Amino acid sequence: VTEPVSRRRALGLAGALAGGAAIGGSAIGGAVWRSSADATAGPSAGATPPPTPVAFHGAHQAGVTVGPQAHLMAVGVSVAADGPDALRALLGRWTVAAERLTRGHQVAERSPSSRLPPVDSGEADDRDLSRLTITLAVGEGLFGSPATDRFALAARRPPALAAVPPTAGEVLRPHLAPADLLLLVAGDDLQVVAHAVRNLISAGAGQVGWRWTLSGFGPPAGASATVGQPSTHRNLLGFREGTANPHPEQAGFDEGLWVQPSDGPAWMAGGTYVVLRHMVLDLAAWDALNLLDRERVIGRHRRSGAPLGEREELATLDLAAEGPDGRPVTDPRAHVAVARAATTGAPMLRRSYNTAAAGPDDPSGEAGQLFLAFARDPATQVTPVLQALAEHDLLSGYTTTVAAGTYAVLPGTTAGGSWADALLSSTP
């Protein structure tokens, strides 16, 4: 008896069926594969090309500008391996594994014998690719200090990692403290996402230690192909999220997001930084607010997402607009007003996911937001906004930050290359 070969077989079969007008679903890889029984449903099923993987290799890592997927698992990992060579080997192995997983393959070639435990746990066999992306970021801990410089990285530490100081409203949980490595694993099928996390951790056995996982859910599968599109989704306050995000067609998008060669350290060129925060919402207090007060706190209309006094979600937010009584239409302490006023340069790119654990005994539970902001320079793009929000934002009365960390998202990789290439290169 041998274990099933790989997800490739299922995908290859589905790809073959596509030629016979057998596959339905969205064009951007969010679709669920039809079984061959479904394929007989008739001509109305239509022919849609098989999903293509989100490209793993490139100048930048995948998972930053792809349209928000339905699920995210952010996984904090400590590195047990010792020395640059061990780190290089670990990251090399993980790059190969991650690239395979995003193409729908099992994490590694199958075990030589069915008397050995299979290398892949198998629960993603026959599942769609689901726009799986696996993004690796490194935390301050990896860079050690001159005294304890396990990986000879102390001189390569990006100063930006220390850019976000603590702010008011944080009640940080020690077990969620920043980790050496952060894996951002996202996709439209939670089973595919969880499979990737489980098998990557297994592939690093002995070299890495799992620290924590923060899981969130976002828009339905295939809602938008790239970030910053008008199709926003709702957070647990019922408001549209992501409206004012920059989008890739906008002038200056790349310059606001990706580290440029002149920024330093040179090895980070093509990477970016991610500020992660897990924020718990006081939904009981929020639910007691009337609609007008909720809209005043956010500074947008709940239903449409439009700025107050406007009808369209994408209408211009005019903080100087006054009502007939001469008072500002948008309260200067509204979330969007404070955030907008504190955004003086290129805006950060927000990719937030909802988190929920509501139950009958505790209706608020741990409902909240897994907030991710990507920026070329967190010191100028994120820190001032965080500080202004902590001080003035009406919404801060309803949020508690329980986890916070800043990570360097490594530059992209080339085919056959490794996440270690830039980090451990000879470039300073």
Chain positions contacting ligand HEM, by CB under 6 A: 235, 237, 239-244, 277, 279, 281, 298, 300, 317, 335-336, 339-340, 343, 369, 371, 373, 382, 385-386, 389, 399
- Residue nearer to ligand HEM on the CB measure, 199 or 224: 224
Contact by Cβ (8 Å): 350, 373: yes
- Residue nearer to ligand HEM on the CB measure, 88 or 376: 376
Q: How far is the CB of 301 from ligand HEM (least distance, A)?
A: 10
Q: How far is the CB of 317 from ligand HEM (least distance, A)?
A: 5
Q: How far is the CB of 387 from ligand HEM (least distance, A)?
A: 9
Residue with tokens 């924590």: 212
Q: How far is the CB of 62 from ligand HEM (least distance, A)?
A: 23
Q: How far is the CB of 343 from ligand HEM (least distance, A)?
A: 6
| DSSP element (H, E) containing 368 | strand 368-375
- Residue nearer to ligand HEM on the CB measure, 21 or 236: 236
Number of other residues whose CB lies within 10 A of the CB of residue 228: 23
Task: List b or e across 94-124, with b for residues whose CB sees 16 or more CB atoms inside 10 angstroms.
Answer: bbebbbbbbbbbbbbebeeeeeeeebbeeeb
Q: How far is the CB of 279 from ligand HEM (least distance, A)?
A: 4
| Angle formed at CA 287 by CA 385 and CA 363, multiple of 5 degrees | 105
- Residue nearer to ligand HEM on the CB measure, 267 or 286: 286
Of all residues in this chain, which one has the CB nearest to ligand HEM in the complex? Answer: 244
Q: How far is the CB of 299 from ligand HEM (least distance, A)?
A: 7
- Residue nearer to ligand HEM on the CB measure, 179 or 382: 382
Cα 306–chain centre separation: 25
Burial of 375 (0-12, 13-18, 19+ CB in 10 A): buried
Give long-range contacts, CB 8 A cutoff, 24+ apart: 80-83: 80/206, 80/207, 80/208, 80/209, 81/207, 81/208, 82/150, 83/150, 83/151
Report the alpha-carbon distance of residue 416 to residue 387 in Å, rounded.
Answer: 42
- Residue nearer to ligand HEM on the CB measure, 111 or 304: 304
Q: How far is the CB of 183 from ligand HEM (least distance, A)?
A: 22
Q: How far is the CB of 172 from ligand HEM (least distance, A)?
A: 14
Length in residues, the chain: 428
- Residue nearer to ligand HEM on the CB measure, 17 or 276: 276
- Residue nearer to ligand HEM on the CB measure, 9 or 302: 302
Contact by Cβ (8 Å): 54, 99: no
Q: How far is the CB of 428 from ligand HEM (least distance, A)?
A: 30
Q: How far is the CB of 287 from ligand HEM (least distance, A)?
A: 14
DSSP 3-state of 181: strand
Residue 285 has φ and ψ, to the nearest 5°, of -70, -40
Structural Rg of the chain based on CA atoms: 23
- Residue nearer to ligand HEM on the CB measure, 36 or 231: 231
For residue 3, give Cα distances in angstroms to 127, 198, 202, 256, 313.
16, 18, 18, 47, 51
- Residue nearer to ligand HEM on the CB measure, 178 or 265: 178
Report the alpha-carbon distance of residue 34 to residue 39 in Å, rounded.
Answer: 6
- Residue nearer to ligand HEM on the CB measure, 143 or 286: 286
Report the alpha-carbon distance of residue 366 to residue 385 in Å, rounded.
Answer: 24
